[in-house]
Amino acid sequence: MRIVVLAKPVPDAGQERLRNDFRMDREATTEVINGNDEYALEAALKLVEASPDGGEVVLLAMAPDHAQETLRKGLALGAASAVLVTDPALEGSCALTTAHVLAAALRELSFDLVIAGVDTSDGGGGVVAAGVAALLGLPYLSYAARIEPSDGRVRVRRITPNGYEVLEAPMPALISATQALGAPRYPTLKGIMGARRKEIVIRTLADLDLAGARARGVEVGGAAATARVTGSRPRAPRGTPKVVQGSPAEAAQEVVTFLAERRLI
Amino acid sequence: MAGAIWVLGESKGSDLARVSAEVATLGSALGAAAGLDVVGVVAGASPDGLAAEFARYLPLVHSLAVPEAAETAFASAVGPSLAALVEREQPAYLLVGATSDGRDIAGILSVLLGWGVIANASAILWQDGRPEVEVSILGGKLLTTSVFTGQHGIITVRPTSVTAEPLASRGSVVPVTVSPEIALPAVTVVSRVAEESEAVPIDEARVIVCAGRGVGGPEGMHLVQALANELGGTVGASRAAVDSGWIPYSQQIGQTGKTVKPRLYVGLGVSGAMQHMVGMRTSETIVAVNRDAEAPIAEVADLVVIGDLFAFVQALISALQARST
Ligand SMILES: Cc1cc2nc3c(=O)[nH]c(=O)nc-3n(C[C@H](O)[C@H](O)[C@H](O)COP(=O)(O)OP(=O)(O)OC[C@H]3O[C@@H](n4cnc5c(N)ncnc54)[C@H](O)[C@@H]3O)c2cc1C
Ligand SMILES: Nc1ncnc2c1ncn2[C@@H]1O[C@H](COP(=O)(O)O)[C@@H](O)[C@H]1O
């Protein structure tokens, strides 16, 4: 079982900052692998471990060069190698062109499954994975809470707004992962040491075959982004909260009055 | 109808999803500001019923039958037909709820049409001849505005961004068919399971009582539920409560759960970790109950009750009951 995990390096929660041109500042903050992509990685590692004929997990990211450091964290958890697509021209890419770049990079890899996260914490919209699947003609099984491969097919329990559905498709396929798949493992010292020797393959735009994108009239890179942030302002602060102490009955009475004033009860 | 604004309607179970009605209302206001027609589209195996419901909010709704959607995964089944319809009718913009199906469709249509996506809109204005989309990012710390660089685009809209308003008179439903040239690989639906719940889904709820680790266990959860019942709300949870197995993941609020924007959020024994707050800080009114006066959730709260949540919640339930009798 060979699995490629789409793992986006993102600023750690709470540390995100926008630059003056309204792009995410990816230099000044420590980065981590996007939370949902860590669930994807954990699910992938478990599937490979359970697979009778072994296999391996490969990470794929499109990110600035310094993201190698973040990818090492995924290698420390057990991924065998990583591919980093990095090029100054990609800075400021939109979701559509990101999907084209990831699809082009995946065309050069062999896999039974691609697992992405359902969305990213740095402002992503949960659309890239569906786009990649459509571009590559891969069956797309999203919002996975459970992944069960057998005999060249894969079953996914997909979370829906009012329950779940069980989906099935032949492999290779692309799956998007939720937290319901299970918490990621912690890196071991051995894993961290071993990660230093694992390979991170660097690919630039010139290395990728983007004929597929061009055939659709899509240019990739920040200059060709289909959407752009034009402004940002901090949300008006709420002000200092009202603090209620005292006996439970007194506190309850105060809260009832507060809620009634705001017409919430 | 070239240049129109289209709104995609989706179902929840057999009903129209509430977010679709909201997006229709948002789209109508945008259309009025832009001087553009606003048209609904419902795609599915037998979309007419849903389209009729959607026509309560829009003057015209296309009902696009895609028989394959009966037993194959929704977005892959309807994506190519929707793309073909868009190419034929040439609307300028497409609006859809930022739900699981809505995001799947947005991602697929984006690559099939070559249109950009602006995700998670909380408001859309018409400025300089194009939509200017307001998005609350980084868990509501910042409000950004975004535009498309081209003439087209797809906007996903967060649930509860506006209040849905039906039209004075019902619109009309027009059945349409297309024969798409491409198909996406079929994904078979082996079974669909609806988990019966009276409660409003967490991302649509107007009142949420959120259980944190401080609730302590199943017994505490009963108390949380009792307060939610009293307030007419839905029970939500922090990841700590979900990881402890007290409540399903579907109710989780935060970075890897749902983003919510209720009128009232009551956090019980929730500390307010950044990954939780990104999912709830844009709630209209936030009340936090915590025995730790230093808990970070106070940073975003309008009212903080410092004390033991068990004693307080029991007293609050009694006070609410006394009030209503
Ligand atoms: C990648 C990633 C994604 C994550 N995604 C999410 C997410 O989507 N949603 C989420 O919620 N978290 C998420 N987390 C976890 C998050 O970091 C916190 O661990 C979690 O939110 C803590 O939950 P809590 O506030 O319930 O628990 P705690 O932080 O343990 O807080 C419990 C609080 O209850 C109070 N308390 C205890 N007993 C009582 C009592 N009797 N009366 C009153 N107060 C009491 C305590 O003072 C404390 O403040 C994520 C973490 C990671 C790494
Ligand atoms: N630059 C990227 N590098 C690697 N994977 C990505 C990238 N952008 C998005 N993805 C994958 O697509 C998923 C959805 O991203 P998004 O649509 O941006 O929210 C993520 O969880 C990742 O698995």
B108/A119 CB distance under 8 A: no
| Alpha-carbon gap: B60 to the closest alpha carbon of chain A (Å) | 26
Report the residue among B243, B276, B299, B308 best suited for mutation to probe ligand 1: largest number of ligand atoms under 8 A from its CB. B276
**Do B171 and B214 have their domain in common?**
no
Residue A94 in contact with ligand 2 by CB distance below 6 A: no
In a domain? residue B194: no
Cα A121 to Cα A176: distance, rounded to the nearest angstrom: 15
Q: What does the alpha-carbon distance between residue B311 and residue A249 come to, in Å, rounded to a whole number? A: 9
pLDDT at residue A237 in the model: 80
User: What pLDDT score was predicted for residue B309?
Assistant: 98
Full domain range(s) for residue B137: 5-176
H or E stretch covering B320: helix B309-324
B183 belongs to a structural domain: no
Phi, psi of A48 (to 5 degrees): -65, -40
**B150 located within any domain:** yes
Is B273 touching ligand 1 by the criterion CB < 6 Å? Answer: yes
Give residue B263's region: left, alpha or beta (phi > 0; psi -120 to 50): alpha
Tokens of A151: 């005999």
Determine, yes or no, domain membership for B123.
Answer: yes
Question: How many Å lie between the centroid of ligand 2 and the Cα of residue B33?
Answer: 34
3-class secondary structure, B142: strand
Q: Residue B134, SS3? A: strand
Measured in angstroms, the CA of B72 and the nearest CA of chain A are apart by 8
CATH code of B293's domain: 3.40.50.1220
Q: Are A159 and B192 in contact (CB under 8 A)?
A: no
Query: Based on the domain organization, do B116 and B25 belong to the same domain?
Result: yes
Question: What's the A255 CA to ligand 1 centre distance in angstroms?
Answer: 23
pTM of the predicted protein model: 0.94
Q: How many domains does chain B have?
A: 2
Establish whether residue A178 lines the binding site of ligand 2, counting it when its CB lies within 6 angstroms of any ligand atom: no
Contact A160 B275 (CB under 8 A): no
For residue B44, give how far its alpha carbon lies from the nearest alpha carbon of chain A (Å): 16
Residue A14 to residue A245: CA distance in whole angstroms: 29
What is the per-residue pLDDT for B28? 98
Closest to A44 measured CA to CA, from A69, A9, A80 = A80
Is any Cβ of chain B less than 8 angstroms from the Cβ of A193?
Answer: no
User: Which residue in B has a C-alpha nearest to residue A225's C-alpha?
Assistant: B149
Same domain as B21, residue B134: yes
Yes or no: say if B114 and A217 are a contact pair by the CB < 8 Å rule: yes
Backbone angles phi, psi at A59, to 5 degrees: -90, 145
Question: Residue B139 is part of a domain; what is its CATH number?
Answer: 3.40.50.620
The rounded distance, in Å, linking the Cα atoms of A222 and A86 is 12
pLDDT at site B140: 79
| DSSP run (H or E) holding B290 | strand B285-290
CATH, domain A2-224, list 3.30.70.100, 1.10.150.120, 3.40.50.1170, 3.40.50.620: 3.40.50.620
pLDDT (0 to 100) of residue B298: 94
- Cβ atoms of B28 and B60 within 8 Å: the answer is no
Nearest by CB to B188, from A168, A228, A232: name it.
A168
A61 lines ligand 2 (CB under 6 A): yes
Q: At what angle do helices A35-50 and A68-77 cross, to 10 degrees?
A: 40
Q: Is residue B185 part of a domain?
A: no
pLDDT, one tens digit for every residue, chain A (265 residues): 999 999 999 998 878 888 888 888 888 788 999 999 999 999 999 999 999 999 999 999 999 999 999 999 999 999 999 999 999 999 999 999 999 999 999 999 999 999 999 999 988 899 999 999 999 999 999 999 999 999 999 999 999 988 899 999 999 999 999 999 999 999 999 999 999 999 999 999 999 999 989 989 999 999 999 999 999 998 888 889 999 999 999 999 999 999 999 999 9
pLDDT at B1: 56
> In sequence order, what DSSP letters do the residues of B94-131 get, joined into one string?
EEEESSHHHHHHHHHHHHHHT--EEEEEEEEEEETTEE
Q: Nearest CA to CA, how far is A197 from chain B (Å)? A: 31
User: Atom of ligand 1 at shortest distance to CA of B254?
Assistant: 8
pLDDT at B242 (0 to 100): 95
Contact A167 B73 (CB under 8 A): yes
Domain boundaries, given as residue ranges, for chain A: 2-224
Which ligand has its closest atom nearest to the C-alpha of B278?
1
Tokens read off for B281: 């800080």
Q: Are B255 and A225 a contacting pair at CB < 8 A?
A: no
Question: Which residue stretches of chain A are H helix?
Answer: 35-50, 68-77, 95-107, 128-136, 189-195, 211-215, 248-261
Residues 6+ apart with CB under 8 A from A138: A114, A132, A172, A173, A174, B185
Query: Ligand 1 centroid to B269 CA: how many Å?
Result: 8
- Identify whether residues B141 and B222 lie together within a single domain: no
Per-residue pLDDT tens digits of chain B, which is 325 residues long: 569 999 999 998 889 999 999 999 999 999 999 999 999 999 999 999 999 999 999 999 999 999 999 999 999 999 999 999 999 999 999 999 999 999 999 999 999 999 999 999 999 999 999 999 999 887 778 899 999 999 999 999 999 899 999 999 999 999 999 999 999 999 999 999 988 777 788 988 999 999 999 999 999 999 999 999 999 999 999 999 999 999 999 999 999 999 999 999 999 999 999 999 999 999 999 999 999 999 999 999 999 999 999 999 999 999 999 987 7
Judgement on whether residues B34 and B168 belong to the same structural domain of the protein: yes
CB-CB under 8 Å, A179 with B239: yes
| Closest ligand to the CA of B212 | 1
> Domain check: are B168 and B208 in the same one?
no
Q: Does some domain include residue B252?
A: yes
